[in-house]
Amino acid sequence: MNAAIEFYDKRTVTVFLGPVCDYAVAPIARQIRYWQLPLVTPGAMAGDFGFLKTSMFPLLTRVGSNFNSLLELLARFLKHFRWQKMKLIYNPDGFANIMDRYCHIVLSCKWVLSNKWAL
C-alpha cells in the first residue's frame, strides 16, 4: 500500500498491475476509486471483490480465475443434477502456504451464491 501511495503522490502511475495476494490487493483496490486509477490483477480471488464490484471495487479488473466463478460452476452442477443436500468439508488451515485462511475465503462465497441460486 505504501508503494501505491508513493506512486500516486509522485504521479508516476496510470495503471497498477498486481499485487496478487488478496490481503495486499484489498487496501489498494479500495483506494483506487478515489484516485481514478485502474488495477489489473490475476489475484483478488475472494468473493467480495466480485460481489462488491460496482460499489467498492469499480476500477478493479481480475484477469484470473476467482472463487465466484468456481462456486458458480458448483451451483450449476447442483442444479443440473438436482442435488438437494450438500455438506462442505474443509480444513480451516488448509493451503496456509498460499494464503492465510484460504479455504475459509473460498467457502465464504458459498453463502452469497446460496441466495443467488436458491440452494
Long-range contacts of 41-45 (CB under 8 A, 24+ apart): 41/16, 41/17, 42/18, 43/18, 43/19, 45/105
Please give the pLDDT value at position 76: 85
- Over the chain, what is the mean pLDDT? 84
Residue 39: its H or E element: strand 39-41
Please give the pLDDT value at position 52: 92
Q: What is the pLDDT of residues 52-93, one digit of tens each?
A: 999 999 999 999 877 778 778 888 888 899 987 777 777 777
pLDDT higher than 90, residue 27:
yes
pLDDT higher than 80, residue 104:
no
Mean pLDDT of the 46-53 span: 89
Please give the pLDDT value at position 32: 97
